[in-house]
Amino acid sequence: MAIGRFLAATVLAWSVLFGAPYDSRAADGLNLDGLKDYFRRHVLGERSSSRTNAGTAEQAMAKTSPVPRTTVPLPRPRPRGLVSGRTPAASPATPEKPAAPVVATRSGRVQVRIDELGKERDSFSAVYLAPKERGRWGRDTVREARRRCEIVLAATNVDAEPLSSIGGPKGCGIAAPVKVHALGAVKLSPAGQFNCTMTAALYKWVTDVVQPAARSRFKQPVVEIREFASYSCRRRGGVMKGPVRISEHAFGNAIDVAEFRLADGTRISVLKDWGGLSALFNRKAAFLREVHKKACGIFSTVLGPEANKAHRNHFHFDLGRGGRYKYCH
């Protein structure tokens, strides 16, 4: 063992001093690279070679300063159908189905969607027309209006009589008017003339608001509604001349309701029973205020006794401005 160590030390010293190659098998079990570095540093006083120094520096940097990570962007997936750099032709857009004007509820009840029925006129430009029956309705307009009436009369329990066109698009008139005798089991007295979108709105108000309120407060239904005005070629407020705009009544788009009659003959008058604080204790006043307030969710304009003196004896409902303008008072 001693002879082997001596030989290994001799070979190591020879290679260190004279740079001669050595046989690694002669120094089996020894860290010859470490011994060479030790001799050069501490015995001969030499610096490590640039190769060894570089390796040591790299190891030190790896221990002290980790290499910052860089984010390499991943290639974007190539769209299907992309050939020779050409963009694939866009697939044709699926046309949206128009909303159905008639829907069925979960209970199986059929309801007319008033907003989807459409209108005979542009509400914003119609208010500037003169109160005269001018112009003549086009065939397409009349055909579309009659189709609208067919939907309403088929989907509701409205007793109505179709009439010939009235007036034209340049003034007062209705393309496809109907004379309404009853809204379900509620008689309309006298029978009124309306366009069919307004007829559908009235029917919704009677069935969804008036009858539930009457049964809740009086334990009986309403059987008759008395109205003051339906179609009427005039300006607002009954004014015949001046700068006042044309009324929605001139388009069959409004109604004035004055009184309700219950099944037992009890009459509820807007003029007599509206009341003030008595609405807290008076069933008639409470009924009137309820059907007036809830009409605001159906019609565009709702006016009552508190709006002005002209409406102290009736409610005014209309579908002016296509339901987008709301005024409830």
Q: What does 22-79 look like in DSSP terms, one character per residue?
A: --GGGGTTS-HHHHHHHIIIIIS-PPPPHHHHHHHHHHHHHHHSPPPP-PPPPPPPPP
* 3-class secondary structure, 280: helix
How many angstroms separate the CA atoms of 171 and 231, rounded? 13
Query: Do 16 and 6 contact (CB within 8 A), yes or no?
Result: no
Q: Phi and psi dihedrals of 22, rounded to 5?
A: -135, 160
DSSP state of 230: S
pLDDT in tens, the chain (329 residues): 555 455 455 544 544 444 444 444 444 444 555 545 555 555 455 554 444 444 444 444 444 444 444 444 544 454 444 344 444 444 455 555 556 888 877 777 778 888 889 889 987 888 889 999 999 999 999 999 999 999 999 999 999 999 999 999 999 999 999 999 999 999 999 999 999 999 999 999 999 999 999 999 999 999 999 999 999 999 998 777 778 899 999 999 999 999 999 999 999 999 999 987 777 789 999 999 999 999 999 999 999 999 999 999 999 999 986 555 688 98
Place of tokens 């007062």: 172
Distance CA 98, CA 181 (A): 32
What's the CA gap between 109 and 173, in Å, rounded? 33
d(CA 138, CA 130) in angstroms, rounded, equals: 19
Q: What is the pTM of this model?
A: 0.69
